[in-house]
A and B are shown apart, each in its own frame.
Chain A
Amino acid sequence: GAVVSQHPSWVICKSGTSVKIECRSLDFQATTMFWYRQFPKQSLMLMATSNEGSKATYEQGVEKDKFLINHASLTLSTLTVTSAHPEDSSFYICSASFRRGSYNEQFFGPGTRLTVL
């Protein structure tokens, strides 16, 4: 159980286009979803936290107008990279969480590799 999927697994796009990445919790309802970005040979950096039906909370330094997050249901969150540029090329990982006892347990998706030409 507790499977999280991401689509697409990889995407190549031209500079200036927008790209949407989907994150789905397949067998549970996620109260909170998280989006991370990982540049090559670096750590995972949290970009934003989103709760179903409310606006996402972005970490400091993350442009909310560039990285649009929608969490329309308890099983789906989307990240749209608007007007993507080569510096946005990265590995984007989502996680979905639900309450387990006294703790919110996170389950990670397999990631989406974005390459902007």
Chain B
Amino acid sequence: AQKVTQAQTEISVVEKEDVTLDCVYETRDTTYYLFWYKQPPSGELVFLIRRNSFDEQNEISGRYSWNFQKSTSSFNFTITASQVVDSAVYFCALSEAASGTYKYIFGTGTRLKVLA
């Protein structure tokens, strides 16, 4: 069965530190998609990235980078030089093609607190 595990419930860092949020997934499907979303206190989900199972290339977008490793079923997210505005809950999600509807399975989220 599909599952997403975010083992880190809460992380606190001091501003300008680098921080990595872990995401481990389980799926039997060969075609799937992985996502990261940010949920600030307002509650609205902010899309950060989508990766498909055939593209293991890592990606960098400004201070954000993602490391996708199929061998370990992980899709980790690193924020470089964190800022107070990065404080939020971050969710990793999995979507399988086999579901037909591509419904999302969310991890439990990691609450990131960046202290000034």
Contacts and interface: CB of A to CB of B under 8 A. Distances in A.
Interface of A: 32, 34, 38, 41-46, 49, 57, 91, 93, 95, 97, 102-104, 106, 108, 110-111, 113
Given A103-B33, A108-B44, A43 B107 contact: yes
B101 A113 contact: no
21 contacts: A34-B104, A38-B43, A42-B108, A43-B109, A44-B45, A44-B104, A44-B106, A46-B104, A49-B101, A57-B101, A91-B43, A93-B43, A95-B104, A103-B52, A103-B97, A104-B101, A104-B102, A106-B95, A106-B104, A108-B47, A110-B42
Contacts, number: 50
Interface of B: 33, 37, 42-45, 47, 52, 91, 95, 97, 101-109, 111
B103 A49 contact: yes
B58 to A, nearest CB: 20
A4 to B, nearest CB: 10
Central interface residue in A43, A93, A103, by most chain B CB within 10 Å? A43
A110 B42 CA distance: 9
A92 B17 CA distance: 34
Given A97-B102, A104-B102, A110-B44, 14 more contacts: A32-B101, A34-B104, A38-B43, A43-B91, A43-B108, A44-B91, A44-B104, A44-B106, A46-B103, A91-B43, A97-B101, A103-B33, A108-B37, A108-B47
A110 B47 CA distance: 12
A42 B42 CA distance: 15
Nearest to A108: B45
